[in-house]
Amino acid sequence: MSEEEYELGNRDGIRVRRWFIDTFAMNKSQRKDFGYKLMGEAKNGINVYDYNEGFPPSASPSLINHLNVISRTFDPIPVVRNLNSTLYYRGQLILITKNDKV
């Protein structure tokens, strides 16, 4: 397996990417809420903005790309509670996206 660095909004290079987003919650209910929220937000794809132009509310960055979500899953991550109680309620969102080249 090889790793390479790419900018999120870069129109060159890899078009299909896999993203891993880990969540940490205080309890199972909060973990489930995080999962539903993230899955819902990723449903219609992810817009990529040029934040070199500034950040809202003082600027309105240009839309430079769009990531079409091909696949999305959210799963709890089992952790041994006796060894690490503070990270017990973890989850992971896995997105597979395709660069739409807006």
How many angstroms separate the Cα of 23 from the Cα of each of 41, 75, 78, 81? 15, 10, 12, 16
Predicted pLDDT of residue 15: 78
* Whole-angstrom distance, CA of residue 8 vs CA of residue 67: 9
Q: Are 66 and 45 in contact (CB under 8 A)?
A: yes
Mean pLDDT of 9-30: 81
Domain ranges of the chain: 16-99
* Residue range 21-76, pLDDT digits in tens: 999 988 889 999 999 999 998 888 988 888 889 888 888 999 888 889 999 999 99
Question: Coil, strand or helix: which one is 77?
Answer: strand
Say if residue 89's pLDDT is above 60. Answer: yes
* Whole-angstrom distance, CA of residue 21 vs CA of residue 38: 9
